[in-house]
Amino acid sequence: MIRIDDLVIFIRVASLDSFSAVGREMDLLPSQISAAIKRLERELDIRLFARSTRSLRLTAEGEQYLPYARAVVDSLNEGKACLQQTDQSLKGTLQIACSSDFGRNVLLPWLIEFRQKNPSLVLRLSLSDHVADIYREPVDVAVRYGMIPDAEFVSLPLLPLNRRILAAAPAYLEKHGRPRRLEDLFEHACLRYHLNGKLYDRWVFPEMANQQSITVNGPVISDDADVIRRCAIAGEGILYKSWLDICQDVRAGHLEVLLPEQPGELFPLHFICPHRKQFSPSIRSLYTYLRTRCESLTGPQVQTSRSIV
């Protein structure tokens, strides 16, 4: 008889291509992972993986069987979720991935409040500017900026009209002056960061049906977007970041919006799950809660200039 746990292990090994990586993730020994795969292969009378000392890959039979294994596990999880709908309390573990800046400074307080309202929930939060692969990594939900091209994802809008904003600290503006047009950015210290290994130094601005881009320079570069925000607050230069990341700093007077008449690049925020069948009551409740909180940030600063968001 096929064990459900063995199916779960098979799916994760197919995603990670590594017995040891799955073992670390599931707190099992590599030998236990190997034994589970061997049991499943005996039950099916096929070889699921082609193994060597250097590589591990699905066989043709393994690739053919994988969607059926996923369907079984998804169906069981969906049945469990249906049973839990009769219980008003939210339970289980939610694994959430988010960018560092938005995650630390905006999302984290919201998640703490959400968990305090649902004390039976366990939250596992991964904050990184590395974009998590929600098929290969153990992620239930990713809160992600930008356009989402992969149609296989379930992507729901949290704030579809969010944009990038130019901003700087009052101290910087007092010392260096305020740019009056985009071309003035060439004469200013602009704070840049690496995104997925690429230096983000080309700032794009929509211009009617076309778009304009400015290649900027400056004294600070970081692979952590939160570092760039902190440097801007300290007066080190001008940043170009999501309104959601900096709106609280703007309202507190730590940063000032620059060129408000110039719309910034559209930078929507999405709530993403690998598969619709993973939409448990906890995930649906979290989505509703986060969308309400995101909409609350499109307040006075945005209303004063429709070009901002």
CATH code of the domain containing 48: 1.10.10.10
Mark which of 84, 106, 127 sits at the end of a domain: 84
Q: What is the pLDDT of residues 234-245, one digit of tens each?
A: 999 999 999 999
- Say if residue 106 is in the same domain as residue 144: yes
Half-sphere exposure (Cβ direction) of 21: Cα atoms closer than 13 Å: 13
> Quick check: is 58 in a domain?
yes
- Say if residue 220 is in the same domain as residue 101: no
User: How, if at all, do strands 49-51 and 56-58 pair?
Assistant: antiparallel
The pLDDT of residue 303: 36
- Say if residue 176 is in the same domain as residue 238: yes
Mean pLDDT value across residues 166-181: 96
- Say if residue 58 is in the same domain as residue 184: no
- Say if residue 59 is in the same domain as residue 207: no
Q: What is the pLDDT of residues 205-222, one digit of tens each?
A: 987 567 788 999 999 999
- Say if residue 185 is in the same domain as residue 115: no
- Say if residue 122 is in the same domain as residue 65: no
Residue 51 domain boundaries: 4-84
Whether pLDDT at 305 is above 60: no
Count, residues in the chain: 309
- Say if residue 215 is in the same domain as residue 253: yes
Residue 61: its H or E element: helix 60-84
The pLDDT of residue 26: 86
Mark which of 63, 84, 105 sits at the end of a domain: 84
> Which one has a higher pLDDT value, 77 or 308?
77
Residue 78: CB atoms within 10 A of its CB come to 15
- Say if residue 227 is in the same domain as residue 276: no
> Quick check: is 308 in a domain?
no
> Quick check: is 62 in a domain?
yes
> Quick check: is 263 in a domain?
no
> Quick check: is 228 in a domain?
yes
* Residue 295 confidence class, pLDDT cut points 50, 70, 90: confident
- Say if residue 272 is in the same domain as residue 141: yes
> Quick check: is 151 in a domain?
yes
The pLDDT of residue 241: 93
Number of domains in the chain: 3
Least confident of 75-84, 182-191, 217-226, 284-293: 75-84
The pLDDT of residue 300: 37
Mark which of 59, 84, 109 sits at the end of a domain: 84
Whether pLDDT at 306 is above 50: no
- Say if residue 282 is in the same domain as residue 153: yes
- Say if residue 100 is in the same domain as residue 59: no
Q: Give the 3-state secondary structure of 238-273.
A: EEEEEHHHHHHHHHCCCCEECCCCCCCCECCEEEEE
> Quick check: is 209 in a domain?
yes
Residue 245 near residue 229 (C-beta atoms within 8 A): yes
> Quick check: is 240 in a domain?
yes
Q: What CATH code is carried by the domain that includes residue 215?
A: 3.40.190.290
Give the whole-angstrom CA distance, residue 200 versus residue 96.
25
Place of tokens 């995603």: 15
Give the whole-angstrom CA distance, residue 142 versus residue 272.
5
* Residue 88 confidence class, pLDDT cut points 50, 70, 90: low
The pLDDT of residue 10: 92
* Residue 34 confidence class, pLDDT cut points 50, 70, 90: very high
